[in-house]
Chain A
């Protein structure tokens, strides 16, 4: 190491090209470099991330309860148990509902807001965005940096039947029926109220992402569309969205993965799973099974089901994007 340093210590400008590099020094430099730069992070990553993932698949096939030394290989019996468990299937249903609804709402809303910021400007002169719009981005993005658990706690108070902000506003506006309406305690509204909280926290982030993506589109493309007579909405639908398709796909997948988790929001808003388990999700059920009941094998099986659903979801998004992208290219 130290032998390598002296020649390199000379100021870069004065050194003539390609001098005294012995092959051996180069190799040693390269090897130590590779070990530290690649082997250490990859090994740490494998120990803390990859290895637990692999173990989970194996544990899911056992009746392991964690604190006893032995475990029996039970094949797929955990999985059969899960699929005949009504509460778990309810949780699966709720998670599927979230993964279908949440990305759509978030992506559409943030796209709309991003479009308003970027194409709301005048239709003459150089193409530019809405005046003074950066304040909206700064404000809407902010909830993204608030810890999700705190978002949940705050909204839990906002939804409070008697002392909450929401019912205070609604009764103030004359909707007396909301006097002490329990948004999170009614089966009809618990899920919707929860979804709104998650959307509230994340729309700003995706809005900023989309604004950056839209600004990355060369202005000439918009100008050409404008000369050809395309209006704002036409431009947004047929030019902007296809051009930021990859960003939308990324946002969609991230949102889907988050929707399949949703553990934080649920633990803050309705730790017990909500009225009649209407907001119970797989992640909550997994956590309780593992760390309250100590049924680790069963919990791992739940994790595998969750992982499979996540991968299927990501696969579907990829395929849909590929298919629709393909047809667009043919149509052009």
Chain B
């Protein structure tokens, strides 16, 4: 402890340099611009939270007035009558199911493509690249009938497989560079020590790619949680609705009779899970992104 305390002043002393006027102006200006943008980001969200406690009448009376009472009536209403509760459950099932499938097979596929030479390697790689570039909209109509023909249309397993398949190219791409960058000597050492291909992958290579896996898992989670087109087109049974399409139908149903207080409450409840995940993982996400790029 004392050693650290003694060190800090000396370091700050040697590092500290006179800041010039222009530095202060640039610094102040930068802070100002960044603050303005942050306010633009935060304000609509805070307003949403505030409005979620108001009745529709209060919402139409004034956009700024505080709610007369801070009760969770709107939240209860949105959870039950609008069905946010069941949408949330469906979303959790679909997203985590798809995430597990795509992470496992994506990591495997990326590993094989990155570290093994075989005929067709490049072809598969470019096939993945094409999947990233082509718009999902091109595939959506035939996909509808593919799912229909194998009996998975309007079912959660069908949605899980589709989500996983469309998240696969991104996962493979991201992890490809990670596996490529791992030193060959480690795989050789594992082989010399008698590990088979399976063991090498699961016990040696996969743990080493952990930063990449974490990043791609978080990005996939966000992407799948927010997926809209696939469920809207392929999952039209209201009892299987996921959160995003549930919110869309809630917002558009019956035009004037929408309870806007409940709508705001539904929006808040949709945001809160991703907000929590974001708060937990944002440092890890940003850390691993910069780690990956600095190498």
Q: Which residues of A contact B (CB under 8 A)?
A: 4-5, 7-8, 10, 12, 15, 17-19, 21, 25-26, 29-30, 32-34, 36-38, 40-42, 44-53, 55-56, 59, 66, 112-113, 116-117, 120-126, 130-131, 133, 135-150, 153-158, 162-165, 167-168, 172, 200, 203-204, 208-209, 211-213, 215-216, 232, 247, 257, 260-261, 263-264, 267-268, 271, 282-283, 286-287, 290-291, 296, 299-300, 302-304, 306-307, 310-311, 314
B222 to chain A minimum Cβ distance, whole angstroms, is: 5
A5 to chain B minimum Cβ distance, whole angstroms, is: 8
Chief secondary structure at chain A's binding surface? helix
User: Which of the four size classes fits the interface of chain B?
Assistant: 35 or more
Alpha-carbon separation in the docked complex, A208 to B281 (Å):
14
Contact partner of A165 (CB less than 8 A), chosen from B42, B43, B277, is: B43
Alpha-carbon separation in the docked complex, A12 to B189 (Å):
9
Q: A32-B198, A130-B27 are in contact. List 8 more A-B contacts (CB 8 A).
A: A7-B194, A30-B197, A44-B105, A59-B142, A124-B23, A135-B38, A261-B137, A296-B141
Alpha-carbon separation in the docked complex, A282 to B116 (Å):
41
A142 to chain B minimum Cβ distance, whole angstroms, is: 6
Alpha-carbon separation in the docked complex, A204 to B133 (Å):
23
Tell which of A163, A204, A268, A299 has the most Cβ of chain B within 10 Å.
A163
Let me know if B51 and A300 touch, CB within 8 A. no
| Interchain residue pairs with CB less than 8 A apart (17) | A15-B193, A41-B109, A41-B172, A45-B127, A45-B131, A47-B146, A53-B142, A113-B37, A122-B17, A140-B41, A146-B270, A146-B274, A149-B247, A165-B63, A261-B137, A287-B232, A290-B141
Which residues from A are CB-within-8-Å of B229? 261, 263-264, 283, 287
- Closest-by-CB residue of A relative to B199 is A8
Let me know if B194 and A10 touch, CB within 8 A. yes
Indicate if B256 sits at the interface (CB-CB under 8 A). Answer: no
Alpha-carbon separation in the docked complex, A32 to B190 (Å):
18
Which residues from B are CB-within-8-Å of A42? 109, 124, 127
Q: Which residues of B contact A (CB under 8 A)?
A: 15-20, 22-23, 26-27, 29-31, 33-35, 37-38, 40-45, 47-48, 51, 59-64, 105-106, 108-109, 111-113, 116, 118, 124, 127-128, 130-131, 133-146, 161-162, 164-166, 168-169, 172, 190, 192-199, 201, 222, 225-226, 228-229, 232-233, 243-245, 247-248, 251-252, 260, 263-264, 267, 270-271, 274-275, 277-278, 282, 286, 289-290, 293-294
Alpha-carbon separation in the docked complex, A163 to B201 (Å):
57
Alpha-carbon separation in the docked complex, A163 to B51 (Å):
11
B130 to chain A minimum Cβ distance, whole angstroms, is: 8
Which residues from A are CB-within-8-Å of B118? 34
Contact partner of A271 (CB less than 8 A), chosen from B136, B137, B140, B252, is: B252
Let me know if A147 and B139 touch, CB within 8 A. no
B38 to chain A minimum Cβ distance, whole angstroms, is: 4
Contact partner of B15 (CB less than 8 A), chosen from A126, A208, A257, A296, is: A126
A41 and B168 contact, Cβ closer than 8 Å, known pairs A7-B194, A165-B63, A310-B134: yes
